Amino acid sequence: MTEDNAAGKRGPAPCPVTRLWTEADLSAGLILGLDHARAHFLRSVLRLERGAHLALFNGRDGEWLARIDGLGKGWCSLAIEAQRRPQASGPDLWLVFAPIKRARLDFLVEKATELGCAALQPMMTRHTAVSRVNLERLQANAREAAEQCERLDLPEVRPVADLGKLLDAWPPERRLLVCAESGAARPIAEVLRQEGPETAAQPWAIMTGPEGGFARSELDALNDLSFAVTVGLGPRVLRADTAALAAIACWQAILGDGRSRPPLRDGD
Amino acid sequence: MTEDNAAGKRGPAPCPVTRLWTEADLSAGLILGLDHARAHFLRSVLRLERGAHLALFNGRDGEWLARIDGLGKGWCSLAIEAQRRPQASGPDLWLVFAPIKRARLDFLVEKATELGCAALQPMMTRHTAVSRVNLERLQANAREAAEQCERLDLPEVRPVADLGKLLDAWPPERRLLVCAESGAARPIAEVLRQEGPETAAQPWAIMTGPEGGFARSELDALNDLSFAVTVGLGPRVLRADTAALAAIACWQAILGDGRSRPPLRDGD
């Protein structure tokens, strides 16, 4: 707690730095038991003690203040006190991506979560070199990033699907930005500006290919779709993870929630 | 080499995938000897043989086609044949950043290079937790990323400097975008649009703070500068590396070289 808070300038409500996602319902007066791993994390890694405060969110009930009611080796109970923020969700932006090697995939999931993607859709393409995706690992990385970045929900991690099947089942109202290094493409900022801020409330998706790029036949198929537009990201050949992050950042800044500010914390 | 090329549809010029940066001057007819590490890389990792082609660049003479003239254990000589692209450089955009932990710093340097930063300036601030920066490691990461992304130059890796000293010596014609999570800030896309494309030819810099954020006194000092503008990147609290990448991507898309396309390669 900072001096400001100790001196009561901002009122008595504690402003905990630790945030945890939980599946459980959240409302005032409930007592919540944590699993072994998280109890261990609070007690042995963060060295929190009985009476310490933290924040909880579950993607439905907003963010809640909770107090450690009791903890010991491998267990912890939390008393849920008061809502700190009502539930809110970001724009409905999917990231559809060809899986890449593990360290880069971990990073991509972390960044896409921080940058506010609503869903992460791994996709198999002709040149995709990675054949297995550990969805549990993706979910764990997404959860950790969501806890850290003040999101009130987790991105949905969707099962792996083939590009063709994805497109066959594509909801036509969901606009699709395809990032491509070769072939015809329009600059991303120009496309997003022309789409206009009124389309930000619509569902959108950003699609990036594997390290080897899309096959020509895949790009041709994508170019034929009424809901898709192929965009370029400048003169350098970007790695798959860089392209995804750059496109998401541009989308959020131009069409998404780039005008909003983070919630106030101690010292702000 | 692809079938297209073997069949001569694109003419006889080979289009090598391997690109190397070199300090040496490049012009037709020169013979260039590689150091032990790079010779080993070509022979034992890429398994290239005598007669294979690769591309060279040095940041001054454009990109050149070279042929392996001879190679053995720990040595390799290259015959420089013809220029493939004239020298070009991207926008004059610096990234000024508080150093972060090693894995994230490696990643940040790679991404900032891919996204076209002209210089990387590590900066010490009040809340910077990392006290030592391995500049050689930064340079090696930047070189590898430049070779991979088709850049024709390397970003300049500048020595670590204190924020105060950087600002004292700041060239006033270089516009400065400060990414801040707290305090007053305008949305980055709005600021970049208002600056207008005619400012893209000017020198610019993007500044990001450490994981703990800028100190209040530092933000106050930055807000007083005529050449600086504080921008926000949306409602989520971004890690330092995410903030830097998002800001660079937006700058390139809106003001920078986002309208250009990568050079043609085989199969394009």
Backbone φ and ψ for B94, nearest 5 degrees, come out as: -90, 150
Nearest to A258 among B148, B187, B260 (CB): B187
The pLDDT score that the predictor gives to residue B266 is 53
Residue A180: which CATH number?
Answer: 3.40.1280.10
Considering the entire predicted model, what is its pTM? Answer: 0.92
Q: Give the domain extent around A171.
A: 93-254
Asked whether the predicted pLDDT for residue A106 surpasses 70, the reply is: yes
Chain A CB contacts of B190 under 8 Å are 259
Question: Quick check: B115 and A238 CB within 8 A?
Answer: yes
Last residue of a domain, one of B85, B105, B128: B85
Beta-carbon separation of A267 and B236 below 8 A: no
Q: Is residue A204 part of a domain?
A: yes
Question: Is residue B5 predicted with pLDDT exceeding 60?
Answer: no
Q: CB–CB of A250 and B250 under 8 A? A: yes
pLDDT of residue A7: 35
Reported ipTM exceeds the 0.95 cut:
no
> Each residue of A166-197: pLDDT tens digit?
999 999 999 999 999 888 899 999 999 999 88
Nearest Cα neighbor of B247 from B228, B233, B236 is B233
pLDDT band of A265, cuts 50, 70, 90: low
- pLDDT value at A4 more than 80: no
A chain contacts of residue B258, beta-carbon cutoff 8 Å: 187-189, 232-234
Q: Are A160 and A123 in contact (CB under 8 A)?
A: yes
Contacts of A191 in chain B (CB under 8 A): none
| pLDDT at residue A130 greater than cutoff 50 | yes
What CA–CA distances, in Å, run from B123 to A209, B84, B155, B210? 35, 37, 16, 9
- A268 and B185: CB-CB below 8 Å? no
Residues B75 and B191 in one domain: no
- A15, A144, A148, A236: best to mutate for the B interface, most B CBs within 10 A: A236
Q: Of the spans A129-133, B13-17, B78-82, B127-131, which averages the highest pLDDT?
A: B78-82
| In a shared domain, residues A220 and A98 | yes
Does the structure show a pLDDT above 90 at A67? yes
Nearest Cα to Cα of residue A179 among A139, A149, A218: A218
pLDDT for B2 beyond 70: no
Does A79 lie in the same domain as A98?
no
**Residues A139 and A162 reside in one and the same domain:** yes
* Model confidence at B265: pLDDT above 60: yes
Cβ distance of A234 and B246 shorter than 8 Å: no
For residue B257, the surrounding DSSP H or E stretch is none
Say whether both B106 and B79 belong to one domain: no
- The answer to whether the CB atoms of A259 and B183 lie below 8 A apart is no
Name the pLDDT band for B198 (thresholds 50, 70, 90): confident
User: What average pLDDT is seen over chain B?
Assistant: 91
Q: Which of B34, B69, B85 is the last residue of a domain?
A: B85
Q: Is residue A38 assigned to a domain?
A: yes
Chain B: nearest CA to A73, how far in angstroms? 31
Best mutation target among B216, B261, B265, B268 (most A Cβ atoms within 10 Å) is: B261
Clarify whether residues A57 and A154 are in a common domain: no
Q: Domain count of chain B?
A: 2
